[in-house]
Each structure stands twice: as structure tokens, then as C-alpha cells.
Amino acid sequence: MYKISIANSINRILKTPLGSRVMRPEFGSRLYELRDKEFNDEFKLDATRFTYEALSKNEPRIKVERVVCEIEPVGGKVVLKIYLQNGVSVEVAI
């Protein structure tokens, strides 16, 4: 039995910089590398790749079907919409 929900787990994995945990250096994602980068097709491709890599390594309960990378028009935050194979979707603001 898991103590944390899938949405919380995905959020924590993606917001933790890869290598920042001493006892679990493989935990986290490389999304932090995209800070202050221009939001273009290359950004979207990297964000999608980093998301797939991090979740496939760190969350065995899920299979990612698709990742959509958007920018909020009002706040300017980048939002990842992660669609899982079981039909569930999770949004993470990075």
C-alpha cells in the first residue's frame, strides 16, 4: 500500500532537481535545467523528454501516454499536462 497519491508523487518527482537527494541521487527530474529558457519548441521537447525520463524511473505505478506543455496566459507559468494510460490526467506547474 502506497502512502502518497499518484498526483502528489508525480508533482514531487518533477519538482525535485535530479541529484539533490543524497541517499537517492536518481530521484527527481531535469526540469530545473529549463528555468529562464525561452518557451519554444525546443523547450517543449526537452520538458516532455525530462518528464518521461523522471516518471519512468521513479514512479512504477503509472505509464505516461502523453505530455502537453503549455504556458498560462495570465500568470506566465509553464504547465505540464500529463495524461496516463489509465485515463487519469495530472497537471504540474513548473
What are the structural domains, with CATH classification, of the chain?
6-93 (3.10.450.40)
| pLDDT score of 73 | 86
| pLDDT score of 51 | 97
| pLDDT score of 1 | 54
| pLDDT score of 94 | 87
| pLDDT score of 2 | 61
What is the pTM assigned to this prediction?
0.90
| pLDDT score of 67 | 97
Greatest alpha-carbon span in the chain:
41
Q: How far apart are CA 5 and CA 11, in angstroms?
A: 10
Q: What is the pLDDT along the chain (94 residues), one digit of tens a residue?
A: 566 799 999 999 999 999 999 999 999 999 999 999 999 999 999 999 999 999 999 999 999 999 999 998 888 899 999 999 999 999 999 8
> What grid cell was written down for 68?
502537453
